[in-house]
Structure 1
Amino acid sequence: MSTTLILLILCSVMLSSIAQIVLKTGMSNPGVLNAVQSGVAMQMITTISTNLYVIGGLTLYFASAAVWLLVLARVDVSFAYPFVGLGFVVTMLLAFFINGEVLSTAKVIGTLCIALGVAIMAQG
């Protein structure tokens, strides 16, 4: 497996994880929360679809998908897909450091199990 392909896989995972944090930031915006709580569909659609963080997060997801398509064109999905599990690790760490989310023991142990599984799958 070439270094370039591994980097493409990791790039896709990172873009997806960053997209989660950016989307969470957008959806935590007071204006968005008020629109969601209002229950008025048109207000929710308008407010969410014009939030720059939501637009940015969706753009990052699109970029992640585009990179992922490059990966799938070159490697077996059974090899590449387990790396998506690393997204759990990256997203949890970003949520902790950027959003100040709490890391429980269960979250850390579960995430370490996922990382171990990815490491085992990557061996072959």
Structure 2
Amino acid sequence: MTWGAFALVFISVSLSALGQTAFKVGVGGTSTAPDANFWVKTLGMVFSPMVLLGLALYGVGTVFWLFALRQLDLSLAYPFVAMSFVMVAGSGMFFLGEPVQPTRLLGLGLIIIGLLVMARGG
């Protein structure tokens, strides 16, 4: 994998992870009033500024992904989407105060090891 292609994958996956974080923040700030009906709750979530930001980040990330796919085999590029699991978990722990559990850290470490093996073989 060339550094340029890796950079495209990394940017794409990073933007997707940021999008997930924006989604979480966006839906956390919406009304959960028990008297609000399904459509009011849904529209409140969809039009939350942070949810819209998350969608925009996904869109831009997709453009970077398309450029990455022009340079890489799909079977090599796609497993690197697993980096988003590591990035989203880190974002949740560091920025959203989610708990750090040893089993979660072990799983993230295994993902990183798997990605390193893939990168060396690609």
TM-score of the pair, normalised by structure 2 = 0.91
Q: CA RMSD in A?
A: 1.4
Structure 1, unaligned runs of 5 or more:
none
Structure 2 unaligned spans of 5+: none
Asked whether 1:57 is paired with 2:54, we answer yes
Q: Deviations over 1:38-62 (max 9, x none)?
A: 5623202321122100000011111
State, as a whole percentage, how many aligned pairs show the same letter. 30
8 Å CA contact retained: 2:13, 2:81: yes
1:34 corresponds to: 32
Match of 1:95 in 2: 92
Matched, 1:21 2:21: yes
Q: Deviations over 1:58-99 (max 9, x none)?
A: 111111111111111221011111211111111111111100
Is 2:106 the counterpart of 1:109? yes
In structure 2, give the amino acid aligned to 1:26.
G
Residues of 1 paired with 2:49 and 2:86: CA distance? 26
Q: Which runs of 4+ in 1 moved over 4 A?
A: none
Does the CA-based 8 Å contact 2:20-2:88 persist in structure 1?
Answer: yes
- When the two structures are superposed, what TM-score results if normalisation uses the length of structure 1? 0.90
The count of corresponding residues between Structure 1 and Structure 2 is 121
